[in-house]
Structure 1
Amino acid sequence: MDITVALIGNPNSGKTTLFNNLTGSYQYVGNWPGVTVEKKTGQYKEDKNIKFTDLPGIYSLSPYTLEEVVSRDYLINEKPDVVIDVIDASNIERNLYLATQLSEIGIPLILAFNMMDVVRKNKDQIDTKKIEEELGCKIVEISALRNENLDELIETTKQLAEKSYENKSMKSFSENVENYIEEIISSVDSLKENPAKRWLAVKLFERDEKIRDEIFVSEDEFAKINSIIDKAEEEFDDDSESIITDQRYNFVTDITSKSVKKGRSGLSTSDRIDKVVTNRLLALPIFAVIMSAVYYISIGIVGGPINDFWADELLGERVPEAVGGFLSSMGVSDALTSLISDGIIGGVGAVLGFLPVIVCLFFLISILEDVGYMARIAFILDRVFRRFGLSGKSFIPILIGTGCSVPGIMGTRTIENDKDRRMTVIVASFMPCGAKTDIIAMFAAMFAGVWWYSTIWYFGGIVAVVVSGLILKKTKIFSGDPAPFVMELPEYHLPSMRNVLKATYNRGKAFVIKAGTIILLCTVVVWVLSNISIYGEFMEFENASTHSILSYIGTKLSFIFAPLGFGDWMATVATLLGLVAKEVVVSTYGVVAGLGEVAAGDASLNALITSKFTTASILSFMFFNQLTLPCFAALGAMKEEMGERKWFRFAIGYQMVFSYTVALMIYQFSRVLIDKQAFNAGTAVALVILAIYLYLILRPAKKEDNKLQVSHEGVR
């Protein structure tokens, strides 16, 4: 028979590792209906009749976050056959809080005590039999990372699904509170036959308004419930929600004190490492060194000989020559041969030419995520962001955005505060995503041996986020304290190469698919526009730069970017087409490279870049493309997350003004300081803009309107 299993657990409990090991490649990723929280489903690789759903990591079933709402809605409405609560066995006390709630829903429950290898290493002793008796549900000891005991977990899952074993009722409250819960159950007719009646009664006791909307309760029943709650609150001298919370924690503490003995005292290895890497003085320098190393290895080392062979020799020479020779031998027309060799292969090849760099970057970042360091970065930058008006919660979407801006922008839904969420949507695309890394790599040859080149874009993005936070938070529409940020720091562990390679593969695959679809279409358009003259004739390459439709459009619009230092037609059309997808910036140069703009016989992309840019104009071009409007897909995500059109218009307006003025200042100041050119009117304008920015950053913040609102319920 088909068995549906829900995997649930605290963040960093190893739940996703377990899901990946059980399902292998038989998994599918989408979004929950109506929300952007990721939904993962998959079939057990040994038995396709067993289907798993990986629910978001949560700490409780209280509806405080979007993840919690999604998880509890799934459990209550979809009613899976079995729930597996994945518990970090090295920290049982914190993890069992969720288990006390899950036991009340009425769905067969298994507690998967994960990370037992860590427990053994720490010499901890856990009496799982005693915990099993106290909780009334099955416990299976596993290690998802090492694939230990997963067969027993599956076998226990089958037994519960086939009703050969039933959970006992977990009585997690004192006798008085249990009596109040029973009174509520007996007072509401719609609860009496509901399998989740105990959980629903507890939620009614907690005055959970979301539950009140989901079950039928008459006015008389509501009055009776309120009188029961009032009596309990008077007895315990506390509000009903706090009563339940305290009772759960007391229950869990009592169980663990009798069943768990720690083998080590003092600081753990992770704690000792964190004393250094999260130190107030050392944290940021260490973070800077680590991320510098990541970008240096990706762009400086892998982007050297490996990328030279892949991009220049293989995709730049052998493939086009082989394809061109084959097409010529088949009698294909010159125009079609040019379209395939110079347009499609030249454009898409220019993007894929940097695939080794992109894959290496994804690989190294996946390692940092898997060992647990990325969680520390969020913790470290929360200190920084909070000083500048942003919550550490804002860094999570921004961090996700280094892979792709779209999920980063979508991830802002987990930020409860509307002002913080909208501000994060505006700045989330400032970080260099995989597509922008393609542009960074395009200029790498001109900065060979320059130590700061490979990392300036990452930290430049962080600086742009911080500056924007300072400016926006001092406006009335974004004023107020940032939302609190609470997160768990997982234990450090050796990376699972399976997880790292899978994450790298998925990100790299998305990059290649994008190159094979959107970029392919754009390169064909670019080729057509660059090889058809404004008179409607197919042209020879040597005349394309002056008479093509593409050069005509670029020349007419180049005045826009002239103050930024890249006012030629190629840079103009590349930047404008980059709104479709940032990779198109590279593919555009790949298509138009060799159209008569460089010396005869030297039509390579590097030669073209060298002839068109100075150090100042490269810095300006790069930062403009990094900070300006993202690709169309990301703009669509921004529009969706902003909700109202006025907020979306404000977001794109801010990004356009911010990116243009920053690029203008960078070019004008770099032109004078680096390229040793003369001070001119443009430099003077840049100084005025700098003064305006300093004023916006340093001015006093707008005070939030904190007047009390009076309603029929009293003062709020």
Structure 2
Amino acid sequence: MNNKQVQVGFMGNPNCGKTTLFNAYTGANLKVANWPGVTVEKVEGSFKYKDYNMKLVDLPGTYSLTSYTMEEQVSREYVMSGGVDVIIDVADASALERNLYLTLQLIELGRPVVLALNMMDIVEKRGMEIDLHRLPEMLGIPVIPVSARKKKGLDILMHAVVHHKDREEITPVIHHHVERELESRHAHDHHKEFAMVYSDEIEDKIDIIKEKLKVKYPEMYNHRWHAIKILEGDRAVTDQYPVELPEDFKCDYEKEIINEKYNFIDEIISEVLVNKDKKEASTDRVDRILTNRWLGFPVFLGIMALVFLLTFTLGDWLKDYMSLFISWVSESVQAGMTGAGVNAAVVSLVVDGIISGVGGILTFLPNIFILFLALAFLEDSGYMSRAAYVMDGIMGKVGLSGRAFIPMILGFGCSVPAIMASRALENRRDRLKTMLVTPLMSCSARLPIYVLFSQMFFGEHAMIAAYSMYVIGLLMAILVAFIIHLFDKRKAEFNLLIELPEYKAPSARTIAIYVWEKVKDYLTKAGTTIFIASIVMWFLLNFGAGGYTSDITQSFGSAVGRVIVPLFQPLGLGYWQIVVALIAGVSAKEVVVSSCSVLFGIGNVTSQAGMMNLSTALGGMGFGTLNAYCMMIFCLLYIPCIATLATIKRESGSWKFTGVCVAFQLLLAWFVTFLVYQIGGVFL
């Protein structure tokens, strides 16, 4: 028997567990984040179910099929393309009222839909029950309870998909609208044909538009859905399918149609949700503090401080052991190569260039691991969307939506996915503003710089000095957005629509996938970008006009650094070694640390002995505490890495905008560092 292919589209509101369910079927190692705007592109996976090859497509989380955001556009274009056999609408059963709006829109499309009720355990925990017999009666589609996290109900859901994919007859809809059915003036009984039935006034207009569409576009799929969208004034549909209507015929019923959908949802909830108010959810009690108008922001800062404390203290304890291992490897390789009579230049390349550069970065792996572990915990527990909600008021005052704070939070991890997450914003101007300020957030690549310089120069206050970089980055991003807003003539008002999911115990599997993906990226960067940068840096510092040299002052690197030094003198960074390290850091911010190791000829710069040798070398040059703090600030604010710049170019589609970002961040970094050094010099 030949295997048949079934293409299934996974749709649902953000935070409904859609991607977790997708992973449960495909085993794909995808990021499962607990806030909207992460899955900004469709992701495909496949598996075999009985005699069927199931091709699954994980679509961006969306609240509706109205194309306001890029997420909604991607999802709508896909389901309208006709390539999908069945739509699995994943709904958070604990927030059924909010999730059913998308369900009704999907049903109206006329394509096979199966409703997967996820998070039923939360419904039970809250003392509620859902009538799983009445709900499919009212919607006219199969309704299957599942648990994505516990992998329950997966087989029955696919069973429903396979048996529902070729349905041709309309599933009977049982509304029990006796009075409304008797009062209806329509010749045909809409209440038995459709789940969502509008008032007679709207239904009359739908019928008129539908007949016009049938005449002009006889091959159109689902004339009723297109008629509804035209009546709503949906620009995408009206532009693609223009139709002549009577002069006095108005197509501005979007609010009325939305209201009638929610009225029907209220009716559904009243019939299918039992014990809705039996007890208050623990989420509501916690949110009284975490999303409080006055406490929300201080709590957010406190949580991020705790994250950084763990990253700094626990990570440093583990880092010491990693440093010992790197030192052992370096000494063993050097002894082996020297004993084998290998050329001194080759030994220097391997030991002082590659092992010193790459090893210095690998030493910070424990810090990176702790940081991403903490962020994964916050994401999967449901807190991160609260951070966007708390920041909505502040962001609105600086001309950005609270939704823009989501990419900024992502920027604490890596600027590349953070820039990509700006797609969740509704218009291009907001996306560009968000892309401009997001790189100002302290990504994990800057963490090794903060740890190294703060530990060398700030002693017991090292953690505070390093944490201040995260606060300064956040404040600078908000300040820059505010200044842009002041000069923006086209000021817009924002209404944040964001799902606040139930708090839940984080999934060990989800956290493991998230952390492994981030650690793998870090290791990959160490094995590629930093490896190459370390070799290039070694070459620049060991070769000059006269060829190979052991005198670093005669190298190409020294010559380049000395030319640029005057520009950095007013910043307290007027040392050619520091300038060369900063230039190298454009490839990847971690390279600043590995470059210092190569520049100062210190084998393991992150060990206690290595940091002592580096601080002694820097101190001998006149580089002190204030200089170290200025170094950290400049690294925070100056040009983002090559990968981030490439992402900005791809997302903006503009070399000009990318160039503006580069010039802007260079000037901002120079100006802020200049102020800190000049003002700090008065007091220190």
Which residue number corresponds to residue 186 of structure 1? 211
Deviation at 1:106, TM superposition (A): 2.6
Counterpart mapping for 1:229-268 below 5 A: 229-230=249-250, 239-265=252-278, 267-268=280-281
Contact 1:300 1:454 (C-alpha < 8 Å) held by counterparts: no
Which structure 2 residues correspond to residues 660-675 of structure 1 after superposition, within 5 A? 660-673=670-683
Change (3 A) 1:345 1:489: same
Q: Which residue of 1 aligns with 2:633?
A: 623
Q: Which residue of 2 aligns with 1:365?
A: 375
- Distance in structure 1 (CA, Å) of the matches to 2:304 and 2:362: 24
Counterpart contact for 2:90–2:117, Cα < 8 Å:
yes
Amino acid at match of 1:657: L
Match of residue 354 from structure 1: 364
* Equivalent residues in 2 for 1:612-651, closer than 5 Å: 612=618, 613-643=623-653, 647-651=657-661
The whole-number CA distance in structure 2 between the counterparts of 1:314 and 1:362 is: 23
Task: State the partner residue of 2:431.
Answer: 421
Q: CA deviation at 1:570?
A: 1.4
In 2: Cα distance, 1:263 partner to 1:205 partner: 35
Instruction: Supply the AA of the counterpart residue of 2:596.
Output: Y
Q: Is the 8 A contact 1:370 1:500 kept in 2?
A: yes
Given that 1:593 and 1:604 are in contact with CA atoms closer than 8 Å, whether structure 2 keeps it comes out as: no
Aligned position for 1:172: 196
SS at match of 1:567: coil
Cα 1:641/1:564, change in 2 over 3 Å: same
If the length of structure 1 is used for normalisation, what is the TM-score?
0.85
Q: Deviations over 1:155-189 (max 9, x none)?
A: 22222236599755533113623443333333223
**Among 128, 150, 173, which residue is 2:154 paired with?**
150
- Does residue 1:573 correspond to 2:557, yes or no? no
Pick closer, same or farther for the CA change 1:400–1:394 going to 2, 3 Å: same
**Structure 1 segments unaligned to the other structure (5+ residues):** 30-34, 234-238, 677-716
In the TM superposition, residue 107 of structure 1 has moved relative to its aligned partner by 2.0
SS at match of 1:223: coil
CA distance in 2, matches of 1:241, 1:170: 19
CA contact (8 A) 1:434 1:511 kept: no
SS of the residue aligned with 1:279? coil
Do structure 1's residue 582 and structure 2's residue 556 form an aligned pair?
A: no
Instruction: Say if 2:358 and 2:531, in contact at 8 Å, map to a contact too.
Output: yes
Q: How many residues align?
A: 646
The change in CA–CA distance for 1:166 and 1:586 in structure 2 (over 3 A counts) is farther
Alignment of structure 1 residues 273-312 onto 2, 5 Å = 273-303=286-316, 305-310=317-322, 312=323
Residue of structure 1 aligned with 2:19, choices 16, 20, 23: 16
Write the letter of the residue equivalent to 2:244: A
1:489 aligned onto 2:513: no
> 1:529/1:112 Cα in 2 relative to 1: closer, same or farther (>3 Å)?
same
Instruction: With the length of structure 2 as denominator, give the TM-score of the two structures.
Output: 0.88
**Contact 2:378-2:384 at 8 Å conserved across structures:** yes
| Cα-to-partner distance string for 1:220-266 (whole Å, 9 max, x where unaligned) | xx223x56954xx7xxxxx3222321221222221221121235346
CA distance in 2, matches of 1:343, 1:214: 60
Structure-to-structure mapping, 1:2-81, within 5 angstroms:
2-25=5-28, 37-44=40-47, 49-81=53-85
- State the shift of 1:10 in Å: 0.8
Tell me how far apart the structure 1 counterparts of residues 655 and 7 of structure 2 sit (CA, whole Å). Answer: 41
Partners of 1:184 and 1:633 in 2: CA distance: 50
- Cα distance in 1 for partners of 2:272, 2:82 equals 34
* Bigger shift: residues 135-144 or 434-443: 434-443
Are 1:521 and 2:532 matched, yes or no?
A: yes
Deviation, structure 1 residue 642 = 4.4
Partners in 2 of 1:408 and 1:610 — Cα distance?
38
| Aligned partner letter, 1:564 | L
Is 2:244 the partner of 1:223?
Answer: yes
Shift of 1:421: 3.0
Rounded to whole Å, the distance in 2 between the matches of 1:23 and 1:5 is 12
Q: 1:604 aligns with which of 592, 602, 610?
A: 610
Offset at 1:90?
1.4
Distance in 1 between the 2:54 and 2:473 partners? 44
1:341 maps to 2:351: yes
1:696 maps to which residue? none
Using the alignment, how far apart are the partners of 1:339 and 1:632 within structure 2? 25
Matched, 1:474 2:486: yes
Distance (whole Å) between structure 2 residues aligned to residue 246 and residue 452 of structure 1? 51
Residue 155 to residue 444, structure 1, CA distance change in 2 (3 Å): farther
Query: Is 1:132 the equivalent of 2:139?
Result: no
Offset of 1:429 from its aligned partner?
0.4
- In structure 1, distance between residues paired with 2:608 and 2:69: 58
Within the candidate set 100, 104, 112, 1:100 is matched to 104
Distance 1:638 1:150, change over 3 A: same
User: What SS does the corresponding residue of 1:104 show, helix, strand or coil?
Assistant: helix
User: What is the distance in 1 between the residues matched to 2:229 and 2:579?
Assistant: 59
Say which SS state the counterpart of residue 143 (structure 2) adopts.
strand
Q: Deviations over 1:269-305 (max 9, x none)?
A: 11111111111222222112111110111112212x2
What SS class does the counterpart of residue 196 from structure 2 fall into?
Answer: coil
SS at match of 1:281: coil
CA RMSD of superposed structures (Å): 2.8
Q: 2:35 is matched with which residue? A: none
Q: 5+ residue gaps in structure 2?
A: 33-37, 173-192
Decide whether the 8 Å contact of 2:39 with 2:60 is kept in 1.
no
**Structure with the larger RCO, 1 or 2 (CA within 8 Å, 6+ apart):** 2
Q: 1:539 — aligned with what?
A: 549
> Which residue in the other structure is 1:548 paired with?
555
Correspondence list, 1:74-89, <5 A: 74-89=78-93
Query: Quick one: percent identity of the two aligned structures?
Result: 36
Structure 1 pair 505–27 and aligned structure 2 pair: CA distance change class (3 A): closer
Task: Please say which of residues 105-114 and 440-449 is displaced more in the overlay.
Answer: 440-449
Letter matched to residue 223 of structure 1: E
Equivalent of 2:598 in 591, 597, 604: 591
Structure 1: how far apart are the matches of 2:291 and 2:612? 41
Instruction: Specify the SS of the correspondent of 2:144.
Output: strand
Moved more, 513-522 or 413-422: 413-422
Q: Distance in 2 between the 1:642 and 1:162 partners?
A: 41
Equivalent residue, structure 2, for 1:679: none
> In structure 2, do the counterparts of structure 1 residues 325 and 162 end up closer, same or farther at CA, with 3 Å as the change threshold?
farther
Task: Tell me the distance in 1 between the aligned counterparts of 2:400 and 2:165.
Answer: 46
Q: How far does the alpha carbon of each residue in 1:390-446 deviate from its partner, in whole angstroms, 9 at most, with x for none?
A: 331221121122222122223323333444333222211001112111211222422
Name the structure 1 match of 2:285.
Answer: 272
Aligned residue type for 1:374: M
Distance 2:234 2:24 in 1: 36
String of CA shifts for 1:32-84, please: whole Å, max 9, x gaps.
xxx99333221238779212111111111011111111101000115211110
Q: Aligned partners of 2:354, 2:295: CA distance in 1, in Å? A: 48
Quote how far apart the aligned CAs of 1:93 are. Answer: 1.8
Task: Give the Cα separation in 1 of the matches to 2:84 and 2:339.
Answer: 61
Change (3 A) 1:387 1:27: closer
Q: Is the 8 A contact 1:287 1:377 kept in 2?
A: yes
3-state SS in 2 of match to 1:484: coil
- The answer to whether the 8 Å contact 1:138/1:167 transfers is no
CA distance in 2: counterparts of 1:228 and 1:23, whole angstroms: 53
Q: 1:186 to 1:44 in 2, by over 3 A?
A: same
